[in-house]
Chains A and B, each alone.
Chain A
Amino acid sequence: MKVPLSRLAHTRSGDKGDAVNIGVIAWRDEHYALLLRELTPERILDFFRDRVRGPVERYELPNLAALNFLIHGALGGGGTVSLRTDAQGKTFGAALLALDIEVAPDDPPL
Chain B
Amino acid sequence: MIRIANGQGFWGDWLEAPVRLVEQGPLDYLTLDYLAEVTMAILQKQRQRDPSLGYARDFPPLIGRLAASLRERGVAVLANAGGLNPVACAREVLRLAPGLKVAVVLGDDLTPRVGELLDKGHPMTNMDTGEPIEAIRDRILSVNAYLGAFPLAEALATGADVVISGRCADAALVCAPAIHRFGWRPGDWDRLAAGMVAGHIVECGAQVTGGNTQAGWEGLENLDEIGYPIVEMDPDGSFQITKHPRTGGLVNAHTVKEQLLYEIGDPSAYHTPDCIADFTSLRVRDAGPDRVRVTGASGAPATEFLKLSINYSAGWKAIGTLVYTWPQAVEKARAADRIVRRRLETLGLRFDEIYTEFLGLDACHGRAAPRVADPPEVQLRIGVRGPDRAAVDRFTRELIPLVLSGPPGATGYGEGRPAVREVVAYWPALLPRTEVQARIEVVE
Contact = CB atoms under 8 A, between A and B. Distances in A.
Contact of A21 (B254, B265, B353): B265
Nearest to A13: B262
Contact of A83 (B215, B257, B260, B385): B385
A33 interface: no
Interface string A77-96: 11111011110000101111
B424 interface: yes
Contacts of B345: none
A25 B261 contact: yes
B71 to A, nearest CB: 37
Contacts of B368: 47-48, 95-96, 98
Which 8 residue pairs spanning A and B have beta carbons closest together? A23-B261, A83-B383, A83-B355, A10-B214, A17-B128, A14-B263, A95-B365, A50-B367
A39 to B, nearest CB: 14
Given A12-B212, A12-B214, A81-B425, A86 B261 contact: no
Interface residues of A, number: 45
B411 interface: no
16 contacts: A11-B214, A12-B212, A16-B263, A19-B265, A21-B264, A25-B258, A47-B368, A63-B280, A66-B257, A80-B314, A81-B425, A83-B319, A83-B355, A83-B383, A86-B363, A95-B368
Given A17-B128, A63-B283, A83-B383, A10 B265 contact: no
Interface of B: 37-38, 128-129, 212-215, 254, 257-268, 279-284, 296, 314, 317, 319, 353, 355, 357, 359, 363-370, 381, 383-385, 423-426, 428
B332 to A, nearest CB: 19
Interface of A: 10-12, 14-19, 21, 23, 25, 27, 47-51, 57, 59-64, 66, 68, 70, 76-81, 83-86, 91, 93-98
B317 A83 contact: yes
A64 B282 CA distance: 8
A68 B262 CA distance: 9
B364 A79 contact: no
Nearest to B258: A12
A51 B368 CA distance: 10
Contacts of B425: 79-81
A95 B364 contact: yes
A10 B381 contact: no
Nearest to B367: A50
